[in-house]
Structure 1
C-alpha cells in the first residue's frame, strides 16, 4: 500500500478505518476542503497539514525515489 500515490494512500486508509471525509478531517484537525483536495491529488498543498493527516496513520512525508518512466527528457 505504501507504493500508492499520496492521494490514493490517504483515501484508501481513511476508508479502511471507516471514516467519512467530514469525520476524518475533524479528527486530523484540517478542513474538509483541504482533505478533499488532498484526496483528489492537488499538487500544491501545505506540508504541515499533509503531515497532520498522515500522523493519524503513524506516517509522515519523506523523500522517496522518483518513478523515472514518466520524466520528460
Structure 2
C-alpha cells in the first residue's frame, strides 16, 4: 500500500497495517521510531494534529516518509 492520500486516517491505516504485518506492538514500534506509544496510537487513529517530524520517524521504520506532492488542479485552473 503506497500512500498518495494526505488523509490522516489513510496514513494511520497504513501504519497499523504495516505494524501488524511486522508483528510489532505499538510499544515496539514506538521504541523503534524513538517516539512515544501515545503518538503511535494517535497516528493509527488518524489524529490530524501530529508533528510531521514525529510522523516521519514512524513512517521511516517502514521505509516511507511524508513529502510534498503536486496537488491535482481544479478544472478552472487550466
The aligned counterpart of 2:25 is 20
The aligned counterpart of 1:37 is 42
Secondary structure of the equivalent of 1:45? Answer: coil
Counterpart-to-counterpart distance in 2, 1:60 and 1:43? 16
The aligned counterpart of 2:15 is 10
Q: TM-score, normalised by structure 1?
A: 0.82
Offset at residue 62 of structure 1 (A): 1.5
Give aligned pairs, total. Answer: 67
Structure 2 gaps, min length 5 = none
Q: TM-score, normalised by structure 2?
A: 0.77
Q: Which has the larger radius of gyration?
A: 2
Segments of 4+ in structure 1 off by > 6 A? none
Counterpart-to-counterpart distance in 1, 2:24 and 2:63? 16
RMSD in angstroms over aligned alpha carbons? Answer: 1.7
Structure 1 gaps, min length 5 = 69-73
